[in-house]
Amino acid sequence: MFNMPLLRTFACIAAAVLTLWACTGTNYKTGFDNLMQSVVKIDVWEAPRGASEASGGNTVGSGVIISPDGYIVTNAHVVNIYAEKIIVTLPCLERAEAKLIGWDHWTDIALIKVDVEELKNRGISLQWAHFGDSDAVKSPDEVYAVGTPFGCARTVTRGIISNNKRYFDGEIDDNGYETGLFNTWLQTDAAINPGNSGGPLALPDGRVIGINTRAAIMSNNLGFAVPSNVVKDVVQRLKSDAKIERAYTGISLTPAQDIKESASVTSARGALIKSVDRGSPADLAGIASGDLIVKIDGESVDGRYPEQLPAIMHKISQKPIGAPVEFEILRGGNIFRKSVKTELLESRIGRKYALADWGAEITQITKALRREKKLSCDSSAIVSDVRAGYPFALAGISGGEIILAIGKRKINTCADVEDEYKKLKGTKQKVLVKTLLYRTINYHILNLGQ
- By annotation, the residues acting in catalysis are 77, 108, 197
Max CA distance (Å), the chain: 88
Cβ neighbours around 200 below 10 Å, total:
32
**What is the distance between the alpha carbons of residues 322 and 79, in angstroms, rounded to a whole number?**
30
Q: E strands along 167-256, which residues?
A: 185-188, 200-202, 208-215, 223-227, 247-248, 251-254
**What is the distance between the alpha carbons of residues 275 and 362, in angstroms, rounded to a whole number?**
29
Residue 112's region, left for phi above 0, alpha for psi from -120 to 50, else beta, is: beta
Bridge partners, 142 (sequence order): 160
3-state secondary structure of 204: coil
CA atoms 25, 28, 33, 38: torsion sign: positive
Answer yes or no: are the C-beta atoms of 41 and 89 closer than 8 Å: yes
Element (H, E) at 299: strand 299-300
First-residue to last-residue Cα distance in the chain: 77
3-state secondary structure of 344: strand
Q: What is the DSSP letter of 358?
A: G
Bridge partners, 159 (sequence order): 143
3-state secondary structure of 192: coil
In sequence order, which residues have a C-beta less than 8 Å from that of residue 52 and are 6 or more positions away? 354, 356, 359, 387
**What is the distance between the alpha carbons of residues 137 and 230, in angstroms, rounded to a whole number?**
14
**Cα R_g (the chain), whole angstroms:** 26
Dihedral Cα 438, 439, 440, 446, nearest 10 deg: 70
Q: E strands along 78-123, which residues?
A: 83-89, 95-104, 109-114
In sequence order, which residues have a C-beta less than 8 Å from that of residue 247 and are 6 or more positions away? 316, 317, 318, 319, 320, 321, 323, 325, 342, 343, 344, 345
Closest CA to 266 of 275, 258, 274: 258
